[in-house]
Amino acid sequence: MDPMWDVVIVGAGPAGSAAALRAAQLRPRARVLLLDRADFPRDKPCGDGIAAHGRDELALLGVPALIDDYRPTPRLTVVSPGGVRVSAEAARPNHVVPRRVFDARLVAAARDRGVEVRRHRVRDLVPDGSGVVIDGRLRARTVVAADGAGSVVRRLIGLAPAAEEHTAIAVRGYADVPEEDDVQLIAMQKAGWPAYAWSFPIGDGTANIGFGMLLPRLRAVGAPGRQVLHGRLAELLPGLHPRELRAHHLPLSTGRPAPGAGRVLLAGDAAGLINPLTGEGIYYALLSGRLAAEAAVESPDDPLALYRSKVRRALGRHLRTTDVLARLAQSPGFIDAAIETAAHRKEVFDLLVEVGLGAGTVPAPLALAVGMRWLRGSLRAGRSATRVTP
């Protein structure tokens, strides 16, 4: 068995690499081990969209220029389920960086900082006095479980996997687009709502395109999943011919579990931290990975209590907000009203971006404005339905 590691991180996606980078940044002499079942570079099905908030995290992790060679995509167009369109420049630009590149760069940065990186698939984990034993041969004072949507570690510590009603599924591929295309497009669909397609141009003549919906809604269609996902993508973004189509689950934060158990802290998708309104998860993965490492380093005897309070401070109000909004958003009329409000008021557009891609919350006047518009829309729909009733 190796000598005791201060932190062992399972999974080297954004959450795991962020944890590794932060631990080594705070305690350069700490023994930090980053494990992944894959060698890097490796692909991960994703929209590849990195919000400005994710770049803030990269700066905090000491790698501010990690994606500077990728073109910013400042414009965002959203088409609501009822066809309302809003197109505006985001207050801060997003980036689109293929995960094959982004994740490998993060892992390389962690290695450069002194983190040991090993290819290893974790299968077993047992608490052992003042530490945790992994696969019978690695001992860690703290384990950060960043092993993604199907987290094995989450199951090993006795927490249930994400429930289907809180899980989405999405397929993504790459398609040719004009090189000058620099608009991130989100096209929502009423059928099987909540559901939407996206096109996120990378800046090299290709775009990441995809389609996602809630898992129970997909099952309700009754056709093979692949057929539904690929068919809807083609329907919403006609004329594009995606390559490398791959699908993956998205554990939404409405079904988030406890943030860990004992000396094991869950981060990123393993912690079910994907935004239920947008499917964005990279920012929350970077943030939670960073906080997990801080807790491991600052409170090695009881990392979980500190981690819990750090997550609560950073995301508590935001998560409660998106819990409520996700319930309201079950009605496509609510989303139509929110997007219509954003189409008329740029400050509302910016606030919605903060809620959908960052740690934003909804101020009461905005909630009221959207609520009133929603009510008017429902009354209008009710009146026209009454008129056509024989």
Ligand X SMILES: Cc1cc2nc3c(=O)[nH]c(=O)nc-3n(C[C@H](O)[C@H](O)[C@H](O)COP(=O)(O)OP(=O)(O)OC[C@H]3O[C@@H](n4cnc5c(N)ncnc54)[C@H](O)[C@@H]3O)c2cc1C
Binding site for ligand X (CB under 6 A): 10-16, 35-38, 44-49, 121-122, 146-149, 152, 170, 172, 210, 248, 250, 268-270, 274, 279-283, 285
- Rounded Cα distance, 145 and 270, in Å: 7
Do 307 and 295 contact (CB within 8 A), yes or no? yes
The two beta strands, 138-145 and 264-266, are: parallel
Rounded Cα–Cα distance for residues 266 and 328 (Å): 28
The nearest distance, CB 377 to ligand X, in angstroms, is 29
| Sheet strands side by side (includes 183-188) | 49-50, 85-96, 72-79, 183-188, 195-201, 206-214, 167-176, 243-251
Give the Cα separation of 4 and 142 in Å (integer). 10
Residue nearest to ligand X (CB): 281
Supply the minimum distance, in Å, between the C-beta of residue 129 and ligand X: 23
The span from the CA of 249 to the CA of 169, in Å, is 4
Closer residue to ligand X in complex, CB, 173/377: 173
Supply the minimum distance, in Å, between the C-beta of residue 121 and ligand X. 4
Measured in degrees and rounded to the nearest 5, phi and psi for residue 84 equal -70, 135
Q: Indicate the residue among 147 and 336 with the shorter CB distance to ligand X.
A: 147
Least separation in angstroms between CB 38 and ligand X: 4
Q: How far is the CB of 381 from ligand X (least distance, A)?
A: 32
**Residue placing its CB nearer to ligand X in the complex, 177 or 366:** 177
How far, in Å, CA of 376 to CA of 384, rounded? Answer: 12
**Helix (H/G/I), strand (E/B), else coil: 82:** coil
Provide CB contacts within 8 A for 181, sequence distance 6+.
Answer: 201, 207
Least spacing, CB of residue 8 vs ligand X, in Å: 10
Q: Which DSSP string corresponds to 122-134?
A: ---EEEETTEEEE
Helix (H, G, I), strand (E, B) or coil at 29: coil
By C-beta, is 288 or 321 nearer to ligand X? 288
Nearer to ligand X, 253 or 341 (CB): 253
Q: Are strands 116-119 and 131-134 parallel, antiparallel or unpaired?
A: unpaired
155 vs 380, beta carbon nearer ligand X? 155
Q: Which is nearer to ligand X, 186 or 325 (CB)?
A: 186
Residue 342 CA to residue 350 CA, distance in Å, equals: 8
Residue 365 C-beta: closest distance to ligand X, Å: 28
Shortest distance, position 389 Cβ to ligand X, whole Å? 41
Report the candidate in 221, 194, 243 with the shortest Cα–Cα distance to residue 80.
194
The nearer residue to ligand X, 15 or 337, going by C-beta atoms, is: 15
